[in-house]
Amino acid sequence: MDPPYHFRGGKCSDERYECAASSSVFTCRNNVESTFKDLEHKVIFLVKKELERFKKLLSPDYPACSEREVEDEEDQSSVREGVLKITLHILRNMNQTDLANTLQTKVYITEGGSGEVSNEHEVRQIETASRRPATQETPIKCNDLFKGKPIRRVLTKGIAGIGKTVWVQRFILDWAEGRANQDVVFIFPLPFRELNLMREKKFSLMDLLHHFFPEIKLEFIDCDAYKVIFIFDGLDECRLPLDFQNNERLCDVTESTSVDVLLTNLIKGNLLPSALLWITSRPAAANQIPPDCVDLLTEVRGFSDPKKEEYFRKRIRDQSLANKIISHIKLSRSLYIMCHVPVFCWIAATILERMLGEAESGKIPKNLTEMFTHFLIFQIKHKDRKYYGKTDTDPQQTKKSVLALGKLAFQQLEKGNLIFYEEDLRDCGIDVKEMSVYSGVCTQIFREESGLHLGKVFSFVHLSVQEFLAALYAFISMSNNTNVLEHQTTSVLHDMKSSTMSVFLISAVDRALQSENGHLDLFLRFLLGLSLESNQTLLQGLLPQTGSTSHSKEEMVKYIKEMIRENPSPDKSINLFHCLNELKDPFLVQEVKAYLSRGGNHCLHGAMLSPAQWSALVFVLLNSEEELDECDLKKYDPSEECLLRLLPVVTASRKAVLDNCSITDEGCAALASALRSNPSSHLRELNLNYNEPGDSGVKQLSALLEDPECKLETLQLSNCGITDEGCAALASALRSNPSSHLRELNLNNNKPGDSGVKQLSALLEDPHCKLEKLDLDGCSITDEGCAALAAALRSNPSSHLREMNLNYNEPGDSGVKQLSAVLEDPHCTLEILQLVTCNITEEGCAALASALRSNPSSHLRELNLNDNEPGDSGVKQFSALLDDPNCKLQKLQLSECSIPEEGCAALASALRSNPSSHLRKLNLGYNKLGASGVKQFSALLEDPQCKLEKLHLYNCSITEEGCAALASALRSNPSSHLRELNLNCNKPGDSGVKQLSALLEDPLCKLEILHMLCLIKTCYYDLVGH
């Protein structure tokens, strides 16, 4: 017997390490490796080398490969092409659909998902994901999950069938074959579906590992010395309580307890605190792991729109046929959205390749029910041809098998289970010993899998397949006068003069609407779709004769429209519109599209839409082919009612433009509530300028900002009647949420006063505050408020604030001196400071210039002092600043500053004497440039060293002589950087206009924009390019 391994400390010998690693590789290779080993036994020895090559194609670093690409290689051979086809064929017959598709495409895993509880059906999440901008999250390679950061526990979520388990398999295989993570000594894959089988037993952690990995003899694992990873795949399949709150604390790896207690202590870090953990889950179950037990949250994304097309082009060899399939799927929004899931792409390709390729005749499926109906029929026919070489061998046995699988699907759907054990099958009357009969009926619909370590588990190929079969079972049962939904049928239905089938379908609608998490949404779509005669004709071998269903359809359409009118929840209504689509009744949707076709702004103003029409509008906008980047209410109707009706559209958009829409505190409350209840919302920018929320509405928004799940980055609340009370609420919310994503806050033209500004200053003082831009124009801020802002920024060297706008306030020289002290600090990171109309005199300007001159590492790039009174002294200070090679200012605005001719000349002279100046924009509008000043600026523009790109000299009393000098300077300097010149409201005369016109005609002139609206003539050049 081999001696046990001890990992208590120190390094093990090379021989023992190699033995341990070899044993670990042997035990930890997953289904992917086993699959390839099976393949090696199924194909002749000649192709073994090619099989090894195919395994390399599964590496995440290897580019996606297709049959067509393989053929294009220089060393192409018939053997290679043949082996690829055999491999794909055998993989599919072995129920390795995911792996077969992996050879042709890839799934992406992205960082930055949210760990909220999901209260909607996964199909709705697919719809949401289909609208997500491709660049919203940061991609992360699977093999890099534990690299670069001190991360111990990773939770990866993703909807059913999106590829989580495939990623786990790749991770293990790449490690086992030496391609990645070679610093890891052991990987222990422990799928929840197999841990469930241990729920009644007691183990120590070491005993549990010995039970799953008998080949590895361990007495202790020193995770401080050796890197060990535990992988728990399929949290949503877990049937253990995972009671993190009440389970006893356990630190001894040799102490026996329940598997549930072992897991909670391992995840908490009480057991093996240095071990790394990777947990995968569907979104609905992700919240079973407490947030403080997750160090990194990632999400497996499905196919983007380009990847959908790429899949079909690689899956279908005939590119003309691939194009037909892509075009057909794009015609049906519901089919196109579902192609976000790789398994559905495979289903669609399986059916459409044959139907559009004319191998089979029939009506091409246009909605989900038709697609899944054809898929079931194909699987049954495929089984008969495969095993018997003909069709209809035993229709009664086929019907019995499908019905049994449907019963299993329905019962487990109600329990929320996607994987089943032998006892679950026995409960449905399925004899486990005859499983080959059931899996043979639908080879790629129902799968029997041997566990990686223990027992057998069963599942449908995808949740949507389970939901379809559950609906088929319910419909067949009702056709045989058995209502499987009867225990929840509402009493009012018994009084309706409706057919039994209609009562049954109505009860299904009611149950779906009552579901808090929407788990019956897709089931209901399928059920209603199956009620159509066209689908029943396709399934005539499985269904009893039901007679005409037109009456039932009419009743259902009528009832669903009533529910749309009565249901206050737009989210619930969306699925009802999908139901109408399955019933092929597009009337409401077409009605709304007619309104939208008017185009332009306010297209719904005065339309008086009914509640049902508003719901239809939401459905249309959410299912539009156009990306929902921006929702602007002015396109529809700038009103609070429009906001309340379109909340699902607003929360699904990245940017919401709701300015000037008469939104009150009621609208703000509804909006905040919608965003709080939908933490996966895409909304990042919210514009509520010129509305009427007041402090009450702002408090509602503050509660939203307080939520760690809120992803808002920009909030604009200009002219919203906000006082110091509202500002205090905003500041308090942001201060209490260190993980806030808010970067820009606009409070222009409100009434916070110094009191409110002090609250905001306390926020800026917080090192956790991530605000980068703060707009406080016209907020009645005095020197007292400025002092508070300055003190906050000075006391927080790690401040993220880059732009502060204080235009139209009353800081005076006293307040500006306080701000100057901030700019003097080398730690200050302010880049833009706006101080328009702030009663600043030469004293304040001198302080600003002096501060910037004394801080060569200053980050300030833009300074706006328009409409102040710097005087001669202040201008001289700024001239000295611009003369300094260390000055980093790029934009300086001194419009309406009463700068005399001498001051303008001094500024131009300073720039001319500093060839390394960074200044790119200078605004001297509404100053007295005079002849002397114009000559100085002409001399500056004539200098090849001058880097100015924009020069604003509007209303500067420039005459024709000055215009001639400017034109001459630019003509004599073909390397000039000047691109924009504003000479509006001057006196160029005819001569000056001609000089400047001639300049624009010069092919060497680089000027692109010339503004020259004058008293004598109008010469406006919008864009002149050469």
How sure is the predictor about 1015, in pLDDT bands with cuts at 50, 70 and 90?
Answer: low
Q: Which pLDDT does position 931 carry in this prediction? A: 83
**Strand pairing of 655-657 and 685-687?**
parallel
Tell me, yes or no, whether 753 lies in a domain. yes
- Any bridge partners for residue 832, and if so which? 803, 862
In one-letter notation, the amino acid at residue 707 is: D
**97 and 181 fall within a common domain:** no
Strand order through the sheet with 153-157: 138-139, 108-111, 296-301, 153-157, 276-281, 227-232, 184-189
- What CATH number is attached to the domain comprising 177? 3.40.50
Residue 101: predicted pLDDT: 46
Domain assignment present for residue 634? The answer is no
pLDDT band, very low/low/confident/very high, at 955 (cuts 50, 70, 90): very high
Residues 767 and 797 in one domain: yes
Residue 25 has pLDDT above 60, yes or no: no
Looking at 303-460, which runs of residues are DSSP E strands?
419-420, 446-450, 456-460
Judge if 156 and 260 occupy the same domain.
yes
> Between 623 and 404, where is the model more confident?
404
Residues 53 and 159 in one domain: no
Mean pLDDT of 757-785: 96
Average pLDDT over residues 404-425: 87
* Residues spanned by the domain of 52: 14-57+65-102
What would the mean pLDDT of 229-248 be, rounded to a whole number?
Answer: 92
Contact yes or no for 467/454 (Cβ under 8 A): no
pLDDT for 118: 54
pLDDT, residue 882, reads: 95
Q: Are residues 25 and 144 located together in one domain of the fold?
A: no
Domain annotation covers residue 750 = yes
| Residue 149 in domain | yes
Residues 90 and 128 in one domain: no
**Which of the two residues, 627 and 901, has the higher pLDDT score?**
901
Please indicate, yes or no, whether residues 459 and 543 belong to a single structural domain of this protein. Answer: yes
Query: Domain boundary residue among 802, 826, 859?
Result: 802
DSSP-assigned letter for residue 751: B
Task: Judge whether 244 and 290 are in contact, CB under 8 Å.
Answer: yes
Is residue 325 a contact partner of residue 349, using CB atoms and an 8 Å limit? yes
Contact 650, 622 (CB under 8 A): no
- pLDDT one-digit tens code per residue, 517-566: 778 889 999 999 999 888 888 888 777 765 556 667 888 999 998 888 88
Q: Report which of 935, 906, 924, 931 is spatially closest to residue 981, judged by C-alpha positions.
A: 924
Predicted local distance difference test score (pLDDT) of residue 136: 52
> Can you give the pLDDT at residue 594?
79
Q: Evaluate whether 3 touches 15 at the Cβ level (below 8 Å).
A: no
> Of 564, 582, 600, which closes a domain?
582
pLDDT at residue number 1024? 43
Q: Please give the C-alpha separations between residue 828 and each of 226, 784, 855, in angstroms, as whole numbers.
A: 44, 20, 10
Span 707-732, mean pLDDT?
95
Task: Answer whether residue 343 is part of any domain.
Answer: no
Indicate whether 909 pLDDT > 80: yes
- Average pLDDT over every residue of 457-479: 89
pLDDT at 874 over 50: yes
Top-confidence residue, 455 or 269: 269
pLDDT, greater one: 79 or 968: 968
pLDDT of residue 71: 33
Q: Which of 582, 612, 647 is at the close of a domain?
A: 582
Check residue 496 and give its pLDDT. 44
Average pLDDT over residues 453-462: 75
Whether residue 569 sits in one domain with residue 684: no
Q: How far apart are CA 913 and CA 885, in angstroms?
A: 10
| pLDDT tens column, 695-716 | 999 999 999 999 988 999 999 9
What pLDDT is attached to residue 737?
Answer: 92
- Tell me the C-alpha distance between 981 and 962, whole Å: 14
pLDDT at 340: 87
Per-residue pLDDT band for 90 (boundaries 50, 70, 90) equals: low
Same domain, 98 and 112: no
Does residue 375 surpass a pLDDT of 50? yes
Backbone torsions φ then ψ of 768, nearest 5 degrees: -80, -10
Find out whether 873 and 840 touch, Cβ atoms under 8 Å. no
Confidence band, pLDDT 50/70/90 cuts, at residue 728: very high
532 part of a folded domain: yes
Give the Å distances, CA to CA, from 1016 to 651, 939, 963, 994, 999.
Answer: 53, 27, 14, 13, 19
Per-residue pLDDT, 378: 85
> Which residue in the block uniquely carries the two structure tokens 């877990």?
238
pLDDT value, residue 18:
37
pLDDT at position 485, please? 84
- Whether 354 maps to a domain, the answer reads no
Q: Which residue has the higher pLDDT, 741 or 396?
A: 741
Convert the pLDDT of each residue in 914-933 to its tens digit: 999 999 999 999 998 888 88
Across residues 248-254, what is the average pLDDT? Answer: 92
Q: How many domains is the chain built from? A: 4
> What is the Cα–Cα distance from 638 to 866, expressed in whole angstroms?
34
Same domain flag for 422 and 503: yes
Residues 47 and 158 in one domain: no
User: Is pLDDT of 387 > 90?
Assistant: no
pLDDT digits (tens, 9 = 90+) for 57-88: 444 333 333 333 333 333 334 444 455 555 55
Mean pLDDT of 142-156: 85
Minimum mean pLDDT range among 15-24, 808-817, 950-959: 15-24
pLDDT score recorded for residue 292: 87
Percent of the chain beyond pLDDT 90? 43
Angle CA 772–777–780, to nearest 5: 125
1008 vs 495: which has the higher pLDDT? 1008
Q: Which residues pair with 803 in a beta bridge?
A: 773, 832
In this predicted structure, the answer to whether residue 110 has a pLDDT above a threshold of 60 is no
- pLDDT value of residue 54: 52
- Residues 312-343: pLDDT tens digits? 998 898 999 999 999 999 988 889 988 888 88
In a domain, 404, yes or no: yes
Query: Which residue, among 912, 854, 851, 844, has the nearest Cα to 875 in the 3D structure?
Result: 844
pLDDT-derived band at 219 (thresholds 50, 70, 90) equals low
In this structure, the answer to whether residues 94 and 119 fall within a common structural domain is no
Contact between 959 and 929 (Cβ < 8 Å) = no
pLDDT tens, position by position, 842-858? 999 999 999 999 999 99
pLDDT bin (cut points 50, 70, 90) of residue 40 is low
Average pLDDT over residues 929-943: 90
What pLDDT, on the 0 to 100 scale, is given for residue 570?
Answer: 66
The predicted structure's pLDDT at residue 120: 67
The rounded mean pLDDT for the chain is 81
Model confidence at 808: pLDDT above 90? yes
What is the structure's pLDDT at 153?
Answer: 92
499, 500, 504, 505: CA torsion to nearest 10: -30
Question: For residue 717, what is the domain's CATH number?
Answer: 3.80.10.10
* HSE-up (13 A, CA, CB side) for residue 447: 21
